[in-house]
Amino acid sequence: MIAPLHILLVDDEALARSRLQTLLADAAAAGAGAAPGEPALPPLVVQQADCADAAWALLQTQPIALVLLDIHMPGLDGLSLAARMRSLPQPPALVFVTADGLHAVNAFELDALDYLTKPVRLARLRQTLAKVLRLHKPAPVPADEPPTPASALLILDRGRTERVPLAEVLYFKAELKYVTVRTAAQSYILDSALNDLETQHAAHFLRIHRNALVARRALRALEKYFDPEEGEGWAVRLHGIHEPLAVSRRQLAGVRAALRDIGNPSV
């Protein structure tokens, strides 16, 4: 299985974004451009932004590999956004898409990979995607490797010892002197320290807050969240449970990186 290629379309004209989205779908249906020796096109995950500010917000939270960027837009224009993108830790590949061919020199000074003029043709778009893939080779998605069935927690509950497979645990949350162990089916109380659990199971669980560890495999989304105690911030959603879990500012970068590692687009 090949990891998807995440693409962001940035244009203030809805019709232009729609046409590009259709062309990308056509390119995906036809492959990477049937020329011999060209890399195969992976699945495409395409998002849209109608202005530079919306695009910048997405670029800071989502694993974008390629930006198809218009130049003339109200407010911050495409050239200014491209200059700002260079400050990102891992800037995506940049391709300008515009009706004006006069900015090509400026575009390439901003490290643009390509420059497409409107109306974009499918064959030309395929050539651009082939360039992107030569630089960005999507790696195979690793098989999910949850803890082995033999890995389990022994939980003493009302005189009864219960074995809870670690592979079923979605999160650990510190509550006073104990730790809540949450699975999709129910919750347990474990007499342990969160720091000890983090040390023992760091390969499979991620610290998101001073009081919580979550299963890496269960990460689904990162979203804005209002906490009654801490105010406006961020929270994660996990597969298998409804309630969000607060993410501290200190752990935010690590959570975003974990979501990028598993190729999750829902950020």
Strand order in the sheet with 219-227: 219-227, 231-238, 245-247
Look at residue 135 in the predicted model and tell me its pLDDT: 74
CA distance 169 to 175: 16
List the Cα angle 152/217/9 in 5-degree steps: 175
Residues 252-260: what's their mean pLDDT?
86
160-181 average pLDDT score:
89
Q: State how far the Cα of 174 lies from the Cα of 200, in Å rounded to an integer.
A: 16
DSSP 71-122: S--SSS-HHHHHHHHTTSSSPPEEEEEES-GGGHHHHHHTT-SEEEESSPPH
As to burial, measured by CB atoms within 10 angstroms (0-12 exposed, 13-18 middle, 19+ buried), residue 112 is buried
Instruction: Between 234 and 261, name the one with better pLDDT.
Output: 234
CB neighbour list of residue 118: distance below 8 Å, 6 or more residues apart: 16, 97, 98, 99
- Cα-flanking dihedrals φ and ψ of residue 245, to 5°? -120, 130
Among 112-126, 139-153, 200-214, which is the least confidently predicted range? 139-153
Q: Which two tokens stand for residue 212?
A: 């919580």
Sign of the dihedral defined by the CA atoms of residues 153, 155, 160, 162, in that order: negative
pLDDT bin (cut points 50, 70, 90) of residue 75 is very high
At 50 the pLDDT is 94
C-alpha 95/C-alpha 234 separation (Å) is: 31
- Checking if the pLDDT of 199 tops 90, the result is no
Percent of the chain with pLDDT over 90: 37
Contact call for residues 129 and 148 (beta carbons, < 8 A) = no
pLDDT beyond 50 at 178: yes
For the stretch 216-252, pLDDT in tens is 999 999 998 887 776 788 999 999 888 899 998 888 8
Query: pLDDT band at 149, cuts 50/70/90?
Result: very low
72-76, 82-86, 225-229 — which is least confidently predicted?
225-229
What is the structure's pLDDT at 161? 80
The Cα angle at residue 92 between residues 91 and 96, in degrees rounded to 5 = 115
The whole-angstrom separation of Cα 56 and Cα 78 is 11
- Torsions phi, psi of 227, nearest 5? -100, 130
d(CA 128, CA 178) in angstroms, rounded, equals 55
pLDDT at 207: 93
Task: Quote the pTM value.
Answer: 0.51
Whether the per-residue pLDDT at 143 is higher than 70: the answer is no
Mean pLDDT for the stretch of residues 17-43: 74
Phi, psi (deg, nearest 5) at residue 235: -145, 155
pLDDT greater than 90 at residue 49 = yes
Q: What is the pLDDT of residues 14-25, one digit of tens each?
A: 999 999 999 998
Q: What is the pLDDT of residue 226?
A: 81
Q: Which domains does the chain have, with CATH numbers?
A: 5-135 (3.40.50.2300), 152-261 (2.40.50.1020)
**Per-residue pLDDT at 111 exceeds 50:** yes
Whether the predicted pLDDT of 261 surpasses 90:
no
- Residue 37: helix, strand or coil by DSSP? coil
